[in-house]
Structure 1
Amino acid sequence: MLSICLINFIFLLMISSASFLLSIWFLYYDFNMVVELELLSLNSSMIEMVILIDWMSLLFMSFVLFISSMVIYYSQEYMELDKNLNRFILLVVMFVLSMMLLIISPNLISILLGWDGLGLVSYCLVIYYQNIKSFNAGMLTALSNRIGDVALLMSIAWMLNYGSWNFIFYLDLMKNDFYMMLISYFVLLAAMTKSAQIPFSSWLPAAMAAPTPVSSLVHSSTLVTAGVYLLIRFNFSFSQNLLFILLLISSITMFMSGLGANFEFDLKKIIALSTLSQLGLMMSILALGEYKLAFFHLLTHALFKALLFMCAGNIIHNMSNCQDIRFMGSLIQCMPLTCVFFNICNFSLCGLPFLSGFYSKDLIVEVMSMEFLNMFIYLIFYISIGLTVCYSFRLSYYTLSGVMNFLSLNSLSDKNFVMLKGMSGLIIWVIMMGSILMWLIFPSPYFICLPFLFKIMALLMILIGMSLGYQMSKFKINDSLKSLKNVILVSFLGLMWNMPYISTYGINLYPIKMGEIYTKNFDQGWMEYFGGQNLSKKLIFLSQFFQFFSNNHLKIYFLMMIMWLIFLLLNF
């Protein structure tokens, strides 16, 4: 009897293949289809479900389904000791279905259903291991994403001005309308929270508390890419001012996360920060008006990032759940196949010719070089490319070469055959899919005319990044932490410019402190003394005093007589 993992794996793989073939057919004939399903008709009112099927939605859907099928197959062995494996697989399937709903929706209501589905299921998956760290990370993830959900609800409210929520019909036509501009700003806010742009970046590394297969799915093709996909759909309605804001925020995010990854020692967090850097790259090229290039990089990045997390999961699984890269080293001798996959993904992430990441990344950089931009954007793009290579090379150096720093009695090996099969399904596409997608999405080639120095600038930055990564690997961080300035600098850069503190303490701590002050001064202070509580005490005291008189009247009478006599004697 087939397990639930295998059933889901086969089912998702079949739909993925069909979706990919359909997308090629739709792309070749430039064919779009809007399907309206009538759910309920009451008098003159109809409730309909609208589905948009075009080459973009079908292609993205095929990638999401393919990656999720491989992740589910991989989870069969990674989560084999888990008592609730079936529940885990069903949660992952729900996650993928929410993403499907978001991809095929040209309607803001159905997008919200998929959007909220992603938020809720991601919370369940982040807190899956049920410890304090997971609960904190889950709350941070859920509450950060709630901001985006509210922005989407606001855009739904404003969309009512057009009499329909099918935004796809109004984007280009109503571009200069005030309502559409307002909706665009709300959609941008929603996408920024989902794709973890500054200042909502801190939830992305925190979401690493989830099991590694979930991280692989979240960081490649589902949760974080939902924001980018929404912006790709909405890109026709964006004004120049809004695109400028997006360009500034996304380029700073790209730089910040690339810098932070160089000071991180947690294997999964380094890869998470690399995802953030790539999201910044997608957003910034989208802000330059090249939505097809952003989509191209979204797809190629999904493949190598999913496999990168799978390799990291295999390493962590073998190293008894140790994630610190300082304990690793010389893994190439113990786990050769995993390390080969890991290296190929790292090279693809860096944009090394002729892997899948190269085709999208190099094209993005060259198109950016042809734009009329200021020096800040130009430099930050190239520095971010150098930083990507720097942390990738540092990661490879720490994990693959040098001396084994783990327990001397260890059982590291490449014997997790089910996990390796799941990873092998992705490696072919990591190598080949860049060129295939380029031939599909851009049938007529781009003409890029640049000076020789501009043309080799990306390659120069890769080489500089490699040398810097090598130097940083040899550089002992403990020796440099002698002075307080260095401690502050390293902690500032390593903690994503203190963003986790701002988004947790800034939201939690200071309102609680204010509450404490108010409690002391109002509820338990002068307001209470002059207010209701003191008044009630006085009334209770007076009533008790009079009750004392009424209960002991004879004794009190004689006592009062004596007091009256004493009073008379004293005065006369």
Structure 2
Amino acid sequence: MEFISICFLSHMFLLFFSIIFFFLGLNFLMSDYSLFFEWEVFSLNSTMILMVLIFDWISLMFLSFVLFISSLVIYYSKDYMSGDFFINRFIMLVLLFVFSMMMLILSPNMISILLGWDGLGLVSYCLVIYYQNVKSYNAGMLTALSNRLGDVAFLMSIAWMMNYGSWNFMFYLEFMKMDYVMKIICLMMVFAAMTKSAQIPFSSWLPAAMAAPTPVSALVHSSTLVTAGVYLLIRFNLLLNESLVVNFLLLIACLTMFMAGMGANFEFDLKKIIALSTLSQLGLMMGILSLGFYKLAFFHLLTHALFKALLFMCAGAIIHNMKNSQDIRDMGYFSVYMPFTISCMNIANLALCGFPFLAGFYSKDLILEMVLISYVNLFIFILFFFSTGLTVSYSFRLFYYLFMMNMNQSSMNMINDSSNIMSKSMFFLLLFAIFGGSMLNWLIFPFSFMISLTLFFKMMTLLICVLGGIIGVLCSKLVFFSYNKSLSFYLFSFFSCSMWFMPLISTMGVVFYPLNYGFKMFKFIDSGWAEFFGSQQIFQYFVKMSSFLQMVQFNNLKIHLSLFCFWVMILFFFMNFL
């Protein structure tokens, strides 16, 4: 009963503030208004500790979406995590996670952003290792250590900001843009965003974080942890002008899109397929952000959060019914068993593909059309559109496995849409996955922009999507089952499925070898010869000195000196006498 009350109260509290922040952000957007809130925490002599918050349409809109998805995830967890004994702790961790994201969103100050940034990393580690098995521990360690690399860059940029005398970076962005020496801050921010948003070569932690409970995955991969890097670069968008750093970021983002799309087409774990689709969309956001269209990146960030949270919720309901099996080869024929859940998942999949008039269409189509009229070379152009085709390919491959395949797990099963709580959560997100894109399009871009393209270029996005869907179904139906040709391309399949060997490199390079080297250094230096000749020798010397001083303090030395002087005098007397 206590758990139900905590879930319900948290859900209603977050939902209430989500609605307030949404209408407040709408008001700020229409009036082009920003508000800085400065709170003096305490003052000591001439030193003041200030807490600064920024309220503008970007922070309020994003905060509204984060709170809305968090409220539905907590409500969803009421049923999904009902068998967990420590459910209250789980809800508290999720609320702490949301609070860290709020700190990150509302802070224009580097120090308070770091509090939210590190809070996300710490709480995400606690949530990834929640099930407390070896796989979860390894995934949590990889997640934490990969994100620490970006935290180091963040700390270095904080130190570099000392040149301005303040950490409120939003006041200095115009000056930083002209100051070539301060481009180091831009470089550090790009590096930090690459680690947090899992761009190449830091991509391996994102699928590994699927060891967390599914409600956490729905929250992490839609609007919180992985989007923190994109949001940070949206705030630093004035620094992202024509430079070598931005061109490098564009290349990395396109390669991340391509790598994630290829990997998802060879993956059989349901949650990892959705995680790789998140990675692909993060690459798309980073790519359009590096081209200078930060509003488009923010637009896609919001729409992506809606249908990606819905995808994870549907996947959680399926895994719940499949007795915790995540292998899509065991699944099939869900259109009969779970019609509502699979309908929601299908709509979310189509929104991810950019199906016309769903949420993802408005942002994705606009992004690809802006790429067409931007100054990009042929390589980047091909990566953008080919990766879009791969997105549709793995989405339709998933559709084939869940809809058309036969159930391979058990003939006698109880798979159904019995959970009303899960269905309600999915229904509310379903409405936003359908209508959210058009609504945000009218709000963020109140004036219609005409993008003039030839008929072939205008139809190219739709053509790529159709071709990708056909290839996805044909590959699933013909190649991998009827003729079993995948073994002929085993090395290519293994290379693509293993994310270009990044998990192996990251595990060895970030976790295993550094920790193993640290253990050896501890063994040979801290507990070895350096300890024996260094601190232990000093310790023994201090012990002897202290015992000698103790002897002096207890006057033993005075007695010995008196006796010595007495015998010397007697000896001197006898020598004179003789």
> How far is 1:243 from its partner?
1.3
| Structure 1 contact 250–283 (Cα < 8 Å) conserved | yes
| Structure 2 contact 480–486 (Cα < 8 Å) conserved | no
**Cα distance change on mapping 1:18 and 1:262 into 2, 3 Å:** same
Unaligned runs of 5+ in 1: 533-572
Specify which of 393, 397, 408 is matched with residue 400 of structure 2: 397
Q: Which residue does the alignment assign to 1:258?
A: 261
> How many correspondences in the alignment?
524
| Structure 1 contact 171–180 (Cα < 8 Å) conserved | no
Specify which of 19, 40, 51 is matched with residue 38 of structure 1: 40
| Structure 2 contact 145–510 (Cα < 8 Å) conserved | no
String of CA shifts for 1:429-474, please: whole Å, max 9, x gaps: 1100101111111111112000000000001101110111011211
| Structure 1 contact 254–384 (Cα < 8 Å) conserved | yes
Q: Which residue does the alignment assign to 1:479?
A: 484
| Structure 2 contact 76–215 (Cα < 8 Å) conserved | yes
Q: Separation in 2 of the partners of 1:497 and 1:54?
A: 40
SS at match of 2:418: coil
Q: Which residue does the alignment assign to 1:444?
A: 447
Q: Separation in 1 of the partners of 2:234 and 2:272?
A: 27
Q: Which residue does the alignment assign to 1:563?
A: none
> How far is 1:45 from its partner?
1.3
Instruction: Kindly report which structure 2 residues correspond to 1:257-276, keeping only aligned pairs within 5 A, or say none.
Output: 257-276=260-279
The one-letter code sitting in structure 1 at the alignment partner of 2:61 is: L
Unaligned runs of 5+ in 2: 534-578
Q: Which residue does the alignment assign to 1:107?
A: 109
String of CA shifts for 1:524-553, please: whole Å, max 9, x gaps: xxx99xx99xxxxxxxxxxxxxxxxxxxxx
Instruction: Kindly report which structure 2 residues correspond to 1:273-284, keeping only aligned pairs within 5 A, or say none.
Output: 273-284=276-287
Q: Which residue does the alignment assign to 1:313?
A: 316
Question: TM-score normalised to the size of structure 2?
Answer: 0.88
Q: Separation in 2 of the partners of 1:166 and 1:515?
A: 37
Q: Separation in 2 of the partners of 1:425 and 1:102?
A: 26
Q: Separation in 1 of the partners of 2:494 and 2:371?
A: 32
**Cα distance change on mapping 1:511 and 1:415 into 2, 3 Å:** closer
Q: Separation in 2 of the partners of 1:425 and 1:304?
A: 11
After superposing the two structures, state which structure 1 stretch, 105-114 or 444-453, moved more.
444-453
| Structure 1 contact 180–237 (Cα < 8 Å) conserved | no
1:356 aligns with 2:350: no
String of CA shifts for 1:259-293, please: whole Å, max 9, x gaps: 10000000000000000000000000000000000
> How far is 1:517 from its partner?
10
Q: Which residue does the alignment assign to 1:300?
A: 303
| Structure 2 contact 97–119 (Cα < 8 Å) conserved | yes
SS at match of 2:499: coil
String of CA shifts for 1:169-195, please: whole Å, max 9, x gaps: 001222121342001110111100000
Q: Separation in 2 of the partners of 1:394 and 1:295?
A: 28
**Cα distance change on mapping 1:7 and 1:510 into 2, 3 Å:** closer
Instruction: Kindly report which structure 2 residues correspond to 1:207-222, keeping only aligned pairs within 5 A, or say none.
Output: 207-222=209-224
SS at match of 2:42: strand
> How far is 1:43 from its partner?
1.8
**Cα distance change on mapping 1:393 and 1:183 into 2, 3 Å:** same
Q: Separation in 1 of the partners of 2:106 and 2:487?
A: 55
1:130 aligns with 2:135: no
Q: Separation in 2 of the partners of 1:327 and 1:482?
A: 20
SS at match of 1:420: helix
RMSD (Å) for aligned C-alpha atoms: 2.0
Q: Separation in 1 of the partners of 2:84 and 2:522?
A: 46
String of CA shifts for 1:208-255, please: whole Å, max 9, x gaps: 000000000000000000000000000102242221111010010011
Q: Separation in 1 of the partners of 2:490 and 2:513?
A: 25
Question: TM-score normalised to the size of structure 1?
Answer: 0.89
The one-letter code sitting in structure 2 at the alignment partner of 1:30 is: D
| Structure 1 contact 33–53 (Cα < 8 Å) conserved | yes
**Cα distance change on mapping 1:124 and 1:508 into 2, 3 Å:** closer
Q: Which residue does the alignment assign to 2:88?
A: 86
Q: Which residue does the alignment assign to 1:11?
A: 13
Q: Which residue does the alignment assign to 1:556?
A: none
Which structure 1 residue ranges, 4+ long, deviate > 4 Å from structure 2?
A: 508-520
Instruction: Kindly report which structure 2 residues correspond to 1:189-268, keeping only aligned pairs within 5 A, or say none.
Output: 189-240=191-242, 241-268=244-271
> How far is 1:359 from its partner?
0.1
| Structure 1 contact 99–114 (Cα < 8 Å) conserved | yes
SS at match of 1:414: coil
| Structure 1 contact 181–239 (Cα < 8 Å) conserved | no
Q: Separation in 1 of the partners of 2:509 and 2:37?
A: 46
> How far is 1:509 from its partner?
4.8
1:455 aligns with 2:458: yes
**Cα distance change on mapping 1:452 and 1:482 into 2, 3 Å:** closer
String of CA shifts for 1:286-334, please: whole Å, max 9, x gaps: 0000000000000000000000000000000001001000000101100
1:21 aligns with 2:23: yes
1:288 aligns with 2:294: no
Q: Which residue does the alignment assign to 2:544?
A: none
Specify which of 415, 418, 434 is matched with residue 412 of structure 1: 415
Q: Which residue does the alignment assign to 1:543?
A: none
> How far is 1:513 from its partner?
8.0
**Cα distance change on mapping 1:121 and 1:452 into 2, 3 Å:** same
Q: Separation in 1 of the partners of 2:435 and 2:515?
A: 53
The one-letter code sitting in structure 2 at the alignment partner of 1:399 is: L
**Cα distance change on mapping 1:400 and 1:288 into 2, 3 Å:** same
**Cα distance change on mapping 1:420 and 1:457 into 2, 3 Å:** same
| Structure 2 contact 258–387 (Cα < 8 Å) conserved | yes
Instruction: Kindly report which structure 2 residues correspond to 1:177-188, keeping only aligned pairs within 5 A, or say none.
Output: 177-188=179-190
**Cα distance change on mapping 1:371 and 1:414 into 2, 3 Å:** same
Instruction: Kindly report which structure 2 residues correspond to 1:54-69, keeping only aligned pairs within 5 A, or say none.
Output: 54-69=56-71
> How far is 1:511 from its partner?
5.6
| Structure 2 contact 129–140 (Cα < 8 Å) conserved | yes
SS at match of 2:227: helix
